[in-house]
Structure 1
Amino acid sequence: MQRQASTAAKTQTVTQTETQTETAGHKRRVGLYGGTFNPIHNSHLIVADQVGNALGLDEVLFLPDVIPPHVDHKESIEPQLRLEMIQLAIEGNPLFGIELAEVKRGGISYTFDTIAELKRLHPENDYYFIIGGDMVEYLPKWHRIDELAKMVTFVGVQRLGYQTKSKYPVIWVDAPLINISSTDIRHRVESGQSIRYLVPDKVAEFIKEHHLYLE
């Protein structure tokens, strides 16, 4: 049985106007942005950039999953195609990178397993896990959440219709509320509508070239 937190966790809001300090000897501050990225879109990129700069992170790594552990399982294309789109999307931003831990491990992508593995392999890093407001609300249902909350710093980004409250520690970052979803993009592609300005141009070209999301 999981141990429940006895008191509500405090939340903190960070804006880009706050000064970030960094001293020699501190661990590297690495952001992780997990998701299916089916496909990656401009809202993902904006959130990652805003969080990375607001918190003064050394890098923000996109973490594509294989099988998301949520109740509402989503059909997605193979990881290699999603990975190639991420690579195209992040070109030109030196803050961005990709973490392949979940793709290499395969199976259900439990965040606890991923963070445990990364902390073992990279003890020099402190990890900041970026999630939307919908996932903050869902945190109590995460696999081994009480242990996970002690291993990583959660960074929340607001989403319309969700509260900025959690019994787990969450740092909230102000970012533009842009309502773009991968589900909507897939539907637009399937129905022949434009996805220009919703995804990077190279991602749109990749989707068209590989005839993705047409069924």
Structure 2
Amino acid sequence: MTRIGILGGTFDPPHLGHLIIANEVLNAHSLDEIWFMPNQEPPHKKKSNAIKEADRINLVQLAISGHPNFKIELLELERSGPSYTYESMKILTKIHPDKEFYFIIGADMVEYLPKWRNIDELVKIVQFIGVNRPSYSTESHYPILYAEVPEVEISSSQIRNRLLENKTIRYLVPDSVRNYIKENQLYGS
């Protein structure tokens, strides 16, 4: 059975922290692929709406293009309304019965799991993999695998703010992402 890691997020924009997490989890748990799943409307935070959906898709594709085991999954973007993991994983497991899914979350989301929609049903259809984040606990009474990742404090909001302030984002995002942002004058760049 093919083992797929799902990394969800706004990816607004995708950055090296996302890629490091994906690569570390892929290798730590011998997964076959990592699918980056941009969400439509994250239920736990406000989406920035800084750029068009098509640009977010292009940015993710550019960010992952150098890795043969990284793919993009557009399921959540194709649905309207909040992107609840439970609904998404029900659909993915139905479409891909030959795949075993692992949902990757940061320690901040590990702490938030009790508040996730249908969490008791969700843990029956997907295995969570938690990754460390500074100032958050990875302890949970839910069944979670873990992966240690280098602590790299990069956030999409930090990158958007730097662009608004006309500061460099070199080495925070892949060069292809940085060039696309510049060429398309995204985030006020």
Superposition TM-score, scaled by structure 1 size: 0.85
Query: Which residue number corresponds to residue 163 of structure 2?
Result: 189
User: 1:146-198 deviations in whole A, cap 9, x for unaligned?
Assistant: 10011100000000000110111111101101000101000000000000000
Kindly indicate whether the alpha-carbon contact (under 8 Å) linking 1:131 and 1:157 is maintained by their aligned counterparts in 2. yes
The correspondence of residues 1-215 of structure 1 with structure 2, limited to 5 A, is: 27-70=1-44, 72-76=45-49, 77-214=51-188
For the residues of structure 2 that align with 1:105 and 1:74, how far apart are their CA atoms? Answer: 15
For the residues of structure 2 that align with 1:66 and 1:79, how far apart are their CA atoms? Answer: 9
Runs of 4+ in structure 1 off by over 3 angstroms are none
For the residues of structure 1 that align with 2:74 and 2:135, how far apart are their CA atoms? Answer: 32
User: 1:59-101 deviations in whole A, cap 9, x for unaligned?
Assistant: 000000011011x313232221111001001112111001111
| Number of residues of Structure 1 aligned to a counterpart in Structure 2 | 188
- Equivalent position amino acid for 2:181 in 1: I
Kindly indicate whether the alpha-carbon contact (under 8 Å) linking 1:64 and 1:79 is maintained by their aligned counterparts in 2. no
5+ long unaligned stretches in structure 1: 1-26
For the residues of structure 2 that align with 1:74 and 1:120, how far apart are their CA atoms? Answer: 28
User: SS of the residue aligned with 1:103?
Assistant: coil
For the residues of structure 1 that align with 2:133 and 2:109, how far apart are their CA atoms? Answer: 10
For the residues of structure 2 that align with 1:156 and 1:79, how far apart are their CA atoms? Answer: 27
Q: CA deviation at 1:106?
A: 2.4
- Equivalent position amino acid for 1:131 in 2: I
User: SS of the residue aligned with 1:68?
Assistant: coil
For the residues of structure 1 that align with 2:162 and 2:3, how far apart are their CA atoms? Answer: 37
For the residues of structure 1 that align with 2:148 and 2:175, how far apart are their CA atoms? Answer: 26
- Equivalent position amino acid for 1:86 in 2: V
For the residues of structure 2 that align with 1:96 and 1:124, how far apart are their CA atoms? Answer: 18
- Equivalent position amino acid for 1:89 in 2: A
- Equivalent position amino acid for 1:67 in 2: E
For the residues of structure 2 that align with 1:56 and 1:125, how far apart are their CA atoms? Answer: 14
For the residues of structure 1 that align with 2:8 and 2:80, how far apart are their CA atoms? Answer: 14
User: SS of the residue aligned with 1:183?
Assistant: helix
Q: Percent identity?
A: 50
Kindly indicate whether the alpha-carbon contact (under 8 Å) linking 1:38 and 1:182 is maintained by their aligned counterparts in 2. yes
